[in-house]
Amino acid sequence: MRLKRNMLFLKKQANTFLLTLLGLIVCTSCVRKKIEIQDKNDSSFPYTITKETKNREMSQAMKRSFENYDGIHPAENELYSQFKYTELKGLDYNGHDGTISRRDPSKIIFENGKYYVWYTYRNTIVPPIGSKRANESTDKIPSTDWDLCEIWYATSADGLTWEEQGVAVNRPPKPEVGWRSVSTTDILKWKGKYYLYYQGFMEASGKSGDYCPVAMSYSDSPDGPWTAVKGAVIENGAEGEWDQYAIHDPYPLVHNGKVYIYYKSAFNRPGNVWVAGGLAIADNPMGPFKKHKLNPVLNSGHEVSLFPFKEGVAALVICDGNEHFTIQYAKDWVNFEIASITELMPIAPGPYVPDAFTNTKDGRGITWGLSHFTNAGNGKGDQHSILGRFDCDLSLDVNDSGMKASRNFNKPEYYFSKGLSKKQLDKIKNQN
């Protein structure tokens, strides 16, 4: 055995010598000659990747590396990023007692020399009592964090400090769409006018579900005043269809000279609820909106947040579903593929998307936005949401290596804070 090993070692040494000699002979060679050497080595995958490497016979995993991603390494993948978070300045939360909540920020636009964002604003006499107690909710007592809400807006010079400007869209009088609550808005700019799409609730969320269609208001200025269109602008699906109960998170972009609104709905109850993303298209902001025949177009994600990227559109796919924690890309704006897998993604992000409405065929990507954190407060009945800023590098015009790390490091204490439940621990102890 030992002899055989020594022989092998000598053979390897000889091979190394021959290869080194060959290397010396061709060391002044052009790229072409280097490739020839690698071709002779084709029984094993090479140490150095070249343009030719992708033509080798490869395992399925290695094939995906070359075919499915923008780069062979996360750092070289324009649609890969980590996310960094910053607290905002300028927004008051009444001592974080749960009576004021801000959540579901819209995408951010830049107008009149400043950034604008719209969001769900709740200011109620008490914190939400929870969807399970929805029947105890009143005109003053909210069931969920997004019940009894209005659409407010804020502006900022730098995206870090925000000045709240007050209400944009009030709840309309009963029985109009949204009389109970208007929430989860997003903004469209179209031919010099502004359009806010949002969820319009006709009952306290939780009473019979979390059901609503999409309503809309428009204005000549991002500062309003806003005029509400009567009724729903995107209707729920017909009975038996996946989006029969709700159209949530309407998110407009402009593509092919049309208004593309991505949205989410939840279906397959009872059982494991499936949350997926749909697409509705209209020739103008007033509709009518035609739902895409291949809906749902996103199979995962609890949030709806997209941006034009090259000729296609990219989506942040977060929280729910088999393909949570991914960034996806659809060249045709319909058929999404996984472009990267990442971690600690922003919740309900509203990115700053400079080319959201330019009908671009060369989308440049995003570097920051606002997101929300739904578990602010100390968890003892003061539940509310706060807005925060996220930064990333999903831009073709930026190359921030500080955003391209493969992973976050966490302290042991953080892992241990994600511990077993008492039931799980008892089960382990009882097995032994």
Among 376, 383, 394, 395, binds a second copy (CB under 8 A): 376
| Shortest distance, position 418 Cβ to a second copy, whole Å | 6
7 binds a second copy (CB under 8 A): no
Rounded to the nearest angstrom, the gap between the alpha carbon of residue 260 and the centroid of all alpha carbons in its chain is 17
Stated as kind and residue range, the H or E segment containing 417 is helix 412-417
Among 95, 192, 257, 419, binds a second copy (CB under 8 A): 419
Under 8 Å CB-to-CB from 208, ≥6 apart: which residues? none
324 binds a second copy (CB under 8 A): yes
| Shortest distance, position 357 Cβ to a second copy, whole Å | 22
72 binds a second copy (CB under 8 A): yes
Stretch of residues binding a second copy (CB under 8 A), selected from 121-129, 137-145, 156-164, 200-208: 156-164
Between the alpha carbon of residue 199 and those of residues 2, 210, 315, 350, the distances in Å are: 75, 10, 20, 16
Window 9-48: residues binding a second copy (CB under 8 A): 9, 12, 15-16, 19-20, 37-38, 41, 43-48
Long-range CB pairs of 219-223, under 8 A, 24+ apart, other chains included: 219/193, 219/194, 220/192, 220/193, 220/194, 221/194, 222/109, 222/111, 222/112, 222/116, 222/153, 222/187, 222/194, 223/165
Stretch of residues binding a second copy (CB under 8 A), selected from 124-132, 165-173, 220-228, 291-299: 291-299
Q: In what order do the strands lie in the sheet with 214-219?
A: 181-190, 193-201, 214-219, 227-228
Nearer to a second copy, 137 or 145 (CB): 145
Among 94, 123, 208, 268, binds a second copy (CB under 8 A): 268
Nearer to a second copy, 104 or 243 (CB): 243
- Rounded to a whole number, what is the distance in angstroms from the first to the last CA of the chain? 44
| Shortest distance, position 259 Cβ to a second copy, whole Å | 16
426 binds a second copy (CB under 8 A): no
Do residues 86 and 391 touch, judged by C-beta distance below 8 A? yes
84 binds a second copy (CB under 8 A): yes
Nearer to a second copy, 4 or 191 (CB): 4
Do residues 278 and 260 touch, judged by C-beta distance below 8 A? no
284 binds a second copy (CB under 8 A): no
131 binds a second copy (CB under 8 A): no
| Shortest distance, position 45 Cβ to a second copy, whole Å | 4
**Euclidean distance between CA atoms 215 and 210, whole angstroms:** 15
238 binds a second copy (CB under 8 A): yes
